[in-house]
Each structure stands twice: as C-alpha cells, then as structure tokens.
Copies of this chain bind each other. A is one copy, B any other.
C-alpha cells in the first residue's frame, strides 16, 4: 500500500514511521488510502464528497488526528475541503501536511482548505508541513488555506511549515477570535531556486480579551521570492502582535506588509519586522568556533527555522 517514496513523504510531513495511533485519514493521489476513527474522534466524508469532516467529542484530551496527503501522480491537481469540529473543552493535536513527489515534467499540486470550528475552552495544536521532492521538473504547487473560528476561551496553536521543494505556494490563513480566545501562529517557509511563496493572513480580534501572536520566519535563497501580508484587526479590547523575520540569501526578494487596525480604543497592537542578510558578526562567531562559512550559515538557518 505504501511504497518507499510514500513512506519518506509521510515521515517528512507528518513525522510518521508507519500507521499512526488514534484517528487518521491518509489520502494519496486524490483518493482515500487508509482511515481509522476512535471512540472520541470521528472522520467521515463531507456531504458533497469534497473532503472530510473530523469531529472531536467535547472534553476529549490527549488524543491526536493525523490527516496527511501524499501525491506522486503527474498532472494531478488535488483539492480538498476539510472541516474540523472541536467539542467544548477538548484538547487535541491535529497533524496535517502534504508531500509531493514529482518525477516527471507535468505539474502536480494540492490545495487543502481546512476549516476549524473550535468550541468553548477547547485547545488544538495544529501542525502542517509541506514538502516536495523528486527529480522531475513539473511545477509543484501547494496552496493551503486555513479558516479558524475560536469560540470563548478557545486556544489554537498553529505551526505551518514549508520545508523546501515547493515551486509555488499561495498560503491563506484566516481567523476570527471570540472572547478570551488565543491564537498563536508560527509560519516557517524556506524557498530557493525560482520558487515563489505568498502568505496572506487575516486575523480578526472580535471578542474581548482575545489575543493573537503571529510569527513569520522566512529564508529566501537564490532567486526565490517570498511575500508576507498580515492584517490584524482589533474590534474589541484585545491584544495582537506580529513578528516577521526574513533572511535573504543570494538574490532573494521579499515584501512584508503588516497592517495593524485598532478599531477599538482598548486594542493593543504591536509589530516587529526585520529583513536582511545574516549578520556578519553571527557568522564570524560561529566560524571562530571552527565551522566553515557554509556550516555556519547552515547552523544559523536551522536555528532560525526551528
């Protein structure tokens, strides 16, 4: 069922050495490969057959859902709409991710639209990794969208990572935060060659005492380009912070456009951004410890994206 390439992709995007524990749904080349549900977590096709609905019962803790997608079929552009309904007070980990292996000249792509309805006092950790491999020259595109709705006091931690090989990415993250809820997003993207990645983020602080922290870390190598747009709109007494750091290597290019909109007098919004090459003193310090230039650069990049 899983060949060596599949296994490598699953390992890369979902940290899996085989079939995961608990609920899971593994999709390959646009079709279901394997699925398991648990007593507390149900997975079923949605009504129009365009994706799955994952339902977590209220109060469930310490469970996880794995929903990786792998693709190695030339010319396939796979689109899925997945919905996650998280019951009140639940506390679960969701591991998504998409791996593409491209061995020919035809393009391959995946678009995952993930909607999260996170109930009162519920917590989710969402991990999404994107990677593309293979010697083929077909364009690999990965366009993930997340839409997150946080009910009162919900907590969502999202780690969104694109670790290489993806030629084109258009990433969209949208969120609406209810009273007392918290959203923490960390996005890490590495591009090289002529790759292009665009990230659009739109976070609305609707409820009182809601808060968000959006961290973007970009490594932009060779002739690649990354653009980062973020809009944090505070409609209540709330707190928002955006932090964007981009390391440019080679001829990389970057646009960073954060928008802070304080539409409530008790909003507190802050932002920091830094775009540039690796600081020379960092390199010199590591090289004085015996590392070569390339090793020092590599060490810094890995630390930055960790």
* A residues with CB within 8 A of B: 246, 248-263, 265-277
Do the beta carbons of B276 and A269 come within 8 Å of each other? yes
- Distance (whole angstroms) from the CB of A163 to the closest CB of chain B: 22
Do the beta carbons of A257 and B255 come within 8 Å of each other? no
On whether A250 and B265 interact (CB within 8 A), knowing A257-B259, A259-B256, A271-B271, the answer reads: yes
Contact pick for A255, options B248, B262, B265, B274, CB 8 Å: B262
Jot down 26 A-B pairs with beta carbons below 8 A, ordered by A: A248-B267, A249-B265, A250-B265, A251-B265, A253-B262, A253-B263, A253-B265, A255-B259, A255-B260, A256-B261, A256-B262, A256-B271, A257-B259, A260-B273, A262-B275, A265-B277, A266-B277, A267-B275, A268-B275, A268-B276, A269-B276, A270-B276, A271-B273, A271-B274, A272-B272, A272-B273
**Which residue of chain B has the shortest Cβ distance to A239 in the bound complex?**
B276
Given A250-B265, A271-B272, 11 new contacts (CB under 8 A): A249-B265, A254-B261, A254-B262, A256-B260, A256-B269, A257-B258, A258-B271, A262-B275, A269-B275, A272-B272, A272-B273
Q: For residue A259, which residues in chain B have a CB less than 8 angstroms away from its CB?
A: 255-257
**Which residue of chain B has the shortest Cβ distance to A233 in the bound complex?**
B255
